[in-house]
A = this chain, B = another copy of it.
C-alpha cells in the first residue's frame, strides 16, 4: 500500500473566513494610514465598510470587535467606530512593556537558541556596521525591526511572541520616526552590536539588561522628542 506520507498534502487554499478577510483588510488600512497626520478623528461606518468589502455587516462587526480588543479602534454605542490615536503616554507605556518582554526573550534565547541562530543576528545588518546608517535610513529601519523580532523569536516563548507582535503593530511607525531623530540611529547600532556579543557569549543576564536598557532608551527618546504625538 502506498504510505500517505509520500504525498505532500497540498496546503489547500482553505484561505480564511470572511471575518478574517475583513480583519486583515481593515488592519492593513488602519496601520497603513498615517493616523497622526490628520488632526480629526477617523470614523468608520460599518455599513459603508460592508459595501466596500462586498460582505454583510456581520463579518465586518466581528473584525471590528477583534480590532477593538487589540486597541486599534474604539466603538461607542450609537456614535460610531473610531480609529484610536494613541497618546504619547500610551506609546511610552507600550515601549516599556515591549522592553520588558524582549529582554526576557533575550534571556531565554541565551538558554535555548543554537549558536547558528544567534549568529544569524549579525546577517540582519549586512553593511551597516561600516557606519553611517543614517544614509540608508529606510533599509536600516526595516533591519532594525527585524533585529528585534528575531531576538524575540529566538526566545522561543510563544506568549511573549504574541504579546510583542501586537505591541509592534502599534509602535512600528514610531520606531521608524524615532530613528531619524537626533543620534538615535548611531546610538542604536552600537547597542545592537553589544547585544549580539552578549547573546553569542551566552551571557543571559547581560543580554537581558542590554536589551532592556536599549528599549528604555527608546522610551525616553520618545518621551522627550515625541511631540508629534498627542
CB distance from A16 to the nearest CB of B (A): 10
State A212–B218 Cα separation when bound (angstroms): 22
State A61–B65 Cα separation when bound (angstroms): 11
Residue A8, interface by CB 8 Å? no
Q: Contacts of A90 on B, CB cut-off 8 Å?
A: 158-159
Give which listed residue, B77, B101, B157, B212, contacts A101 with CB less than 8 A.
B101
Residue A69, interface by CB 8 Å? yes
CB distance from A57 to the nearest CB of B (A): 11
Closest-by-CB residue of B relative to A101 is B100
Residue A160, interface by CB 8 Å? yes
Closest-by-CB residue of B relative to A70 is B69
Knowing A66-B65, A69-B69, the reply to whether A163 touches B163 (Cβ < 8 A) is yes
Main secondary structure of the interface of A (DSSP, over half): helix
Those of A189-230 within 8 Å (CB) of chain B: 212
Residue A108, interface by CB 8 Å? yes
Residue A51, interface by CB 8 Å? no
State A62–B19 Cα separation when bound (angstroms): 12
**A57-77 toward B: CB 8 Å interface, digit per residue (1/0)?**
000011001100110000001
Residue A26, interface by CB 8 Å? no
Binds B, one of A42-50, A91-99, A128-136, A173-181: A91-99
CB distance from A81 to the nearest CB of B (A): 14
Residue A104, interface by CB 8 Å? yes
Residue A17, interface by CB 8 Å? yes
Residue A153, interface by CB 8 Å? no
Provide 17 A-B residue pairs closer than 8 Å at the C-beta atoms, listed in order of the A residue.
A17-B77, A65-B65, A66-B69, A69-B69, A90-B159, A93-B160, A96-B104, A96-B160, A97-B104, A97-B159, A97-B160, A97-B163, A100-B100, A100-B103, A100-B104, A159-B167, A163-B163
